[in-house]
Amino acid sequence: MSIKFIKKIPTAREIREEMPLPNHIKEIKKNRDMEIRKVFQNEEDKFLLIIGPCSADSEDSVCEYIGKLAKVQEKVKDSIIIIPRIYTNKPRTTGEGYKGMAHQPDLEKEPNLVKGIKSIRKLHIKALSEYYMPAADEMLYPENYSYLADLLGYHAVGARSVENQQHRFTVSGVDFPVGMKNPTSGDIHVMLNSIKAAQLEHSFIYNGYEIKTSGNPLAHAVLRGAVDSYGRNIPNYHYENLTSLAKEYENKQLLNPSIIVDTNHSNSMKLHKEQPRIAREVLASRKYNSILKKMIKGLMIESYLVEGNQDVNGNVYGKSITDPCLGWEDTENLIYYIAENV
Measured in Å, how far apart are the chain's first and last C-alpha atoms? Answer: 57
Cβ-in-10-Å burial (0-12, 13-18, 19+) of 86 comes to buried
Reported pTM: 0.97
- Whether the predicted pLDDT of 306 surpasses 90: yes
Give domain 12-341's CATH superfamily. Aldolase class I (3.20.20.70)
Strand 178-181 versus strand 203-206 pairing type:
unpaired
Integer CA distances (angstroms), 330 to 54, 299, 302, 340, in order:
16, 16, 11, 16
Mean model confidence pLDDT for the chain:
96
**Distant-in-sequence, close-in-space partners of 318: CB < 8 Å, separation ≥ 6:** 58, 61, 64, 65, 304, 305, 306
Over residues 196-247, the pLDDT tens digits come to 999 999 999 999 999 999 999 999 999 999 999 898 999 999 999 999 999 9
CA distance 63 to 66: 5
pLDDT at position 20 is: 96
Cα 44 from chain centroid?
Answer: 20
Cα 87 from chain centroid?
Answer: 7
- The residue ranges of DSSP E strands in 121-225, in sequence order, are 136-138, 154-157, 178-181, 203-206, 209-212, 219-223
Strand partners, 47: 80
Over residues 94-135, the pLDDT tens digits come to 888 899 999 999 988 999 999 999 999 999 999 999 999 999
- Per-residue pLDDT band for 32 (boundaries 50, 70, 90) equals very high
Long-range contacts of 199-208, Cβ-Cβ distance < 8 Å, separation of 24 or more: 199/172, 199/254, 199/255, 200/172, 201/172, 202/169, 202/172, 202/173, 204/166, 204/169, 206/142, 206/143, 206/169, 206/170, 206/173, 207/11, 207/12, 207/143, 207/146
- Whether the predicted pLDDT of 328 surpasses 90: yes
Strand partners, 155: 137, 178
- Whether the predicted pLDDT of 1 surpasses 70: no
CA distance 294 to 292: 5
Q: For residues 292 and 314, which has the higher predicted lDDT (pLDDT)?
A: 292
Do 63 and 126 meet the contact criterion of CB atoms below 8 Å apart?
Answer: yes
pLDDT at position 71 is: 98
pLDDT at position 90 is: 84
Cα 168 from chain centroid?
Answer: 15
Task: Provide the b/e sequence for 278-287 (b: ≥16 CB within 10 Å).
Answer: bbebbbebbe
Average pLDDT over residues 132-147: 95
Strand partners, 32: none
pLDDT at position 232 is: 92
Over residues 157-211, the pLDDT tens digits come to 999 999 999 999 999 999 999 999 999 999 999 999 999 999 999 999 999 999 9
- Whether the predicted pLDDT of 36 surpasses 90: yes
* % of the chain exceeding 70 in pLDDT: 100
Cα 54 from chain centroid?
Answer: 10
Among candidate residues 201, 143, 140, 136, the one with its CA nearest the CA of residue 172:
201
Instruction: Tell me the longest C-alpha to C-alpha distance in the chain.
Output: 60
pLDDT at position 95 is: 80
Do 95 and 61 meet the contact criterion of CB atoms below 8 Å apart?
Answer: no
Strand partners, 261: 223, 299
- Whether the predicted pLDDT of 136 surpasses 80: yes
- Whether the predicted pLDDT of 93 surpasses 90: no
